[in-house]
Amino acid sequence: MTTADTSVRIAWSADADAIATLQAAAWRERYADVLPPELLEQVVPELFAEKWAASLDRPGDARNRALVALEHSTVRGFTVTGPSTDDDADPVADGEVSELTVSPDHRRTGHASRLLQAAADTLRADRFTRATMWLDARDDALRAFVASTGWAPDGAHREVDPVGDGSVRLKQVRLHTTLGGDGD
Q: Over its length of 184 residues, how does the chain's per-residue pLDDT go in tens digits?
A: 445 688 999 999 999 999 999 999 988 888 888 888 888 888 899 989 999 999 999 888 889 999 999 999 899 999 999 999 999 999 899 999 999 999 887 677 679 999 999 999 999 999 999 999 999 999 999 999 999 999 999 999 999 987 778 888 889 999 999 997 544 4
Query: What is the pTM (predicted TM-score) of this model?
Result: 0.89
Amino acid 183: pLDDT: 42
- At 45, give phi and psi (nearest 5°): -55, -35
User: How far from chain centre, in Å, is Cα 155?
Assistant: 20
Predicted local distance difference test score (pLDDT) of residue 4: 64
Domains and CATH numbers, the chain: 6-178 (3.40.630.30)
Query: How far is it, in rounded angstroms, from Cα 36 to Cα 32?
Result: 8
Residue 2: per-residue pLDDT: 45
Q: What pLDDT is recorded for position 143?
A: 94
Contact 89, 40 (CB under 8 A): no
